[in-house]
Amino acid sequence: MERLVSNWYNHRPLPESYICPPETRPGKLSIPSGDTIPVVSLGEALINRSNTILNVLRASQEFGFFQVVNHGVSEKVLNDTMNVVEEFFKMPMEEKASLYSEDPNKVCRLYTSNINYGTEKYHFWRDILKHHCHPLDDCIKLWPQKPTRYRDVIRTFSVEGKKLGLTILELLTEGLGLESGYFKKDLSEAMLLVANHYPPCPDPSLTLGLPKHCDPNLITILLQGHTFGLQVFKDGQWIGVQPLPNALVVNIGHQLRIVSNNKLKSAEHRAVTNSKVARTTAGLFISSSEDSIIEPAKSLTNAAQPPLYRAFRYKEFLSYYFSMMGDTELALQPFKLPFNQSVIS
Ligand code: OGA
Ligand code: NI
């Protein structure tokens, strides 16, 4: 519990154990202006569906990241969610102590930094609340009881966010030419909520809130609030994801990259800190259940485009992913198939 950044950060210089090696430091944090990720208005799908499909598909192929507006999740739900998550992190430590755990298998837990505080070489400027959202009626009983509105608000956010995730997946299904409903059942059955809290940091140039990573799951829907911090790695540089009112950030995870046989991109991203204000985000991580088999969709592969990955259980991938501490290409390595030149000649 004492390890939580929000417990001790006030008025202290950055501890040495939070300083990243020079090559991963964000440095002076200049984000090239004009360069940002695509913004897609989903309301437009009602008028011109094929155009919306094209926009979502292009963004997923080129960036692996986009923001959605007019997405159908109400402003009230977004505001309630951000407020209740911020309130959670603002509560006195005694109120949160029972949720703190260093056991990654706990269904609902509060922890800090990244995958394993005890073994990581240096730490990250972040506290995390993470819990399952499926099956909702079972796991909701384990969610925080305070703030008192937490369960109600996050239940609504998770149901609406899941619906939005499925809408976007269906647009991608059509765009890729997969059979309708391809992602609707097993592949998107499970969901996690991850709320990240990055307190103001005494030296944002030396540390990170969250290291460079790709998400392991199918697709992620993130409510990022009003503060800059999320960056996407594109064409050799970091670009900032501009906070937009009532927008949600969407990114493709490894699972979707694999199922699409690399037609969609799982983009690397990270979170930087700032010295002025705390930043809080709430992400919904949609994935298959851990026992599901993941493999490139059969209809996307043929002799000219052989499958680039073998079939595996999602839990096998997850345990390898976490052992690689999120390192993107290394995490995929044991699941890749050798590209057989003879097939295409
Ligand atoms: C994540 C993530 C970004 C953010 O939780 O995987 O990428 O801005 N979060 O909090
Ligand atoms: Ni992420």
What ligand 1 atom has the least distance to the C-alpha of 215? 6
Cis before 13 (ω within 30): no
Note the ligand closest to the C-alpha atom of 249.
Answer: 1
pLDDT at 36: 85
Distance from the CA of 96 to the center of ligand 2, in angstroms?
A: 24
163: pLDDT strictly greater than 70: yes
Amino acid at residue number 314: Y
- Shortest-distance Cα residue to atom 8 of ligand 1: 230
Euclidean distance between CA atoms 107 and 327, whole angstroms? 24
Distance from the CA of 7 to the center of ligand 2, in angstroms?
A: 24
34: pLDDT strictly greater than 80: no
Distance from the CA of 135 to the center of ligand 1, in angstroms?
A: 23
Cβ neighbours, 10 Å, residue 273: 30
In this structure, are residues 239 and 37 in contact, taking their beta carbons and an 8 Å threshold? Answer: yes
Note the ligand closest to the C-alpha atom of 266.
Answer: 2
Distance from the CA of 220 to the center of ligand 2, in angstroms?
A: 8
Average pLDDT on 184-206 reads 96
Tell me the percentage of the chain whose pLDDT exceeds 90. 84
pLDDT at 28: 76
- Shortest-distance Cα residue to atom 6 of ligand 1: 215
pLDDT in tens, 285-336: 999 999 999 999 999 999 999 999 999 999 999 999 988 876 678 899 999 9
pLDDT at 345: 37
Average pLDDT on 165-178 reads 98
Average pLDDT, rounded, for the chain: 93
Ligand 1, pocket residues at CB < 6 Å: 194, 196, 210, 215, 222, 224, 229-230, 269, 271, 281, 283
Average pLDDT on 163-190 reads 97
Residue environment code for 46-63, b if the CB has 16+ CB neighbours within 10 A, otherwise e: eeeeeebbebbbebbbbb
What ligand 1 atom has the least distance to the C-alpha of 126? 10
pLDDT in tens, 250-264: 999 999 999 999 999
Note the ligand closest to the C-alpha atom of 229.
Answer: 1
Distance from the CA of 344 to the center of ligand 2, in angstroms?
A: 35
Q: What is the pTM of this model?
A: 0.95
Substitution candidate for ligand 1 out of 230, 254, 284, 325 with most atoms within 8 A of CB: 230
Cβ neighbours, 10 Å, residue 301: 15
Split at pLDDT 50, 70, 90, the class of 340 is low
241: pLDDT strictly greater than 60: yes
Split at pLDDT 50, 70, 90, the class of 1 is confident
Distance from the CA of 146 to the center of ligand 2, in angstroms?
A: 26
